[in-house]
Amino acid sequence: MSAQTPVCQLLERQETDYRHWWWVGPPQDGWLEGTQGTAISADVALLIYWAARGLSARSPFDEPLSAGAPAGAVLFWPKSHALGEWWLLWLCATLPPGTPLQLVGENQGGIKRVLKVLAALGLGCRKRDSARRCALYASQTARVGLDPDAVWTRFEAGGLQLASHPGVFGHGKFDDGTRLLLAQLPEILFGDIGASRRQGALQALDMGCGDGIIAAWLARRGAMVTAVDVSVFAVEAARRTLAGNGLEGDVVASDVYSALAGRRFDAIISNPPFHQQRDIDYGPAARLIGEAPEHLQSGGQLVMVANAFLPYPALLERAFGGFEILADDRRFRVYRAVKD
């Protein structure tokens, strides 16, 4: 299959034999699947997709491969510059020194910045090719004396200590949409309105948990919490956040509800993403809303926050037959829909 994305079209025309290389942070592209390489990704959806086709795929938090080092690695430079730096540190810490390393990305995505990053790490670099508004650089791994774990940070928000990683939504800050959402939850979930709909502890699902602030906020108030995210960076961050605050919860890597078959909750709380790199992608949020009734108890509720311009009212109407707006500050809206 011919490459479909600009970055893969640039790679396709190289003379390099990419068999048994690592594809690090790759896009979804059929050409990659035919190269006999291994996908290294924090995106659970991509890992599931590759595994379902019998292809080699792993997360950066998996145990090291027993089969030994790859022939080389291609790092697809991400939108987040800090995340790209983390991937570089991880590759240098994981692979033997001298392993061939290529870095590819779109000019608009900041690929040219890798020159300064590589220089700061003492890694040599040369430009191999450019086309389709993309560039490809060549280097090799080396011991750089910096631990990838050093990028983990902690910060305070809402009375909680949060763990944060460059690959997590809202890295290092308290998102305004989440702030607005949390302000609505005491009465809806723990006041007369919420308590009258259930018996016992609230069974809550934090969908798209990010750094775990919603899960930790719920757990601190006695809820039995399950936190889910498609990013393994977010899953690790949420686990660290819960542990750092002395709280308990089940944290699951899942492509929306894929790992939650048969499970039902009193409440699903979410600040869902709508970007995939620089592109708008409503797919995950549409699944979140459309499949929510299947994962709610009778009388259970979906409470979510979203940018005011996003077209979620029609999705909520279709899935639940109605909804209400709990808050609207012109930037964000908090929606609530209840399962009959």
pLDDT tens digit sequence for 205-249: 999 999 999 999 999 999 999 999 999 999 999 999 999 999 999
For residue 65, pLDDT beyond 60: no
For residue 278, pLDDT beyond 50: no
Residues ≥6 apart with Cβ < 8 Å to 154: 161, 162, 163, 164, 244
Give the mean pLDDT of the chain: 92
Q: Say what the pLDDT of residue 63 is.
A: 76
For residue 275, pLDDT beyond 50: no
User: DSSP 3-state assignment of 67?
Assistant: coil
d(CA 33, CA 105): 19
Q: Say what the pLDDT of residue 283 is.
A: 79
Query: What mean pLDDT do residues 19-28 have?
Result: 96
Q: Say what the pLDDT of residue 281 is.
A: 59
d(CA 196, CA 202): 11
- In the chain, the percentage of residues whose pLDDT exceeds 70 is 94
169 Ramachandran zone, left/alpha/beta (phi>0; psi -120 to 50) = beta
Q: Say what the pLDDT of residue 129 is.
A: 97
Closest of 304, 331, 289, 298 to residue 184, by C-alpha? 304
Question: What's the maximum distance between 2 C-alpha atoms anywhere in the chain?
Answer: 67
The model's confidence at residue 305, banded by pLDDT at 50, 70 and 90, is very high
Confirm or reject CATH 3.40.640.10 for domain 6-146, answering yes or no.
no
For residue 192, pLDDT beyond 60: no
Residue 261 in tokens = 């078959």
For residue 64, pLDDT beyond 90: no
Domain with CATH 3.40.50.150 in the chain: 6-146, 152-338
Q: Say what the pLDDT of residue 191 is.
A: 78
Residue 21 in tokens = 């290389």
Parallel, antiparallel, or unpaired for β 296-307 and 332-338?
A: antiparallel
For residue 132, pLDDT beyond 70: yes
How is 204-239 classified by DSSP, letter by letter?
Answer: EEEES-TTSHHHHHHHHTT-EEEEEESBHHHHHHHH
Residue 138 in tokens = 């060549």
Looking at CATH, the fold of the domain delimited by 152-338 is given as: Rossmann fold (3.40.50)
Query: 165-182 pLDDT, tens per residue?
Result: 998 988 888 999 999 999
The model's confidence at residue 284, banded by pLDDT at 50, 70 and 90, is confident
Is 45 within 8 Å of 216 (Cβ atoms)? no
Please work out, in degrees rounded to the nearest 5, the angle formed at the alpha carbon of residue 112 by the alpha carbons of 140 and 108: 130
